[in-house]
């Protein structure tokens, strides 16, 4: 695994966090799945 660091707005962070809570998953898992879906 490699680490990726991004600077994002507070509103985007809040939206991602809320989506993760809705789906009952960790933000990292949500984002990793999103990236894999679009780039693999």
Tens-digit pLDDT profile for residues 1-40: 999 999 999 999 999 999 999 999 999 999 999 999 999 9
**What is the longest distance spanned by two Cα atoms in the chain?**
28
Residues 21 and 40: their CA atoms lie apart, in Å, by: 25
pLDDT value at position 33? 97
In angstroms and rounded to an integer, the radius of gyration of the C-alpha atoms of the chain is: 11
pLDDT value at position 2? 95
Residues contacting residue 20 through CB under 8 Å, at least 6 positions apart: 26, 27, 29, 30
Look at the block and give the residue holding tokens 């960790």: 26
In angstroms, how far is CA 5 from the centroid of its own chain?
12
What is the pTM (predicted TM-score) of this model?
0.85
pLDDT value at position 25? 98
pLDDT value at position 27? 97
């Amino acid at each position: 695994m490699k680490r990726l660091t991004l600077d994002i707005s507070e509103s985007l962070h809040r939206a991602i966090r809320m989506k993760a809570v809705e789906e009952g998953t960790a933000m990292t898992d949500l984002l990793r799945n999103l990236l894999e879906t679009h780039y693999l």
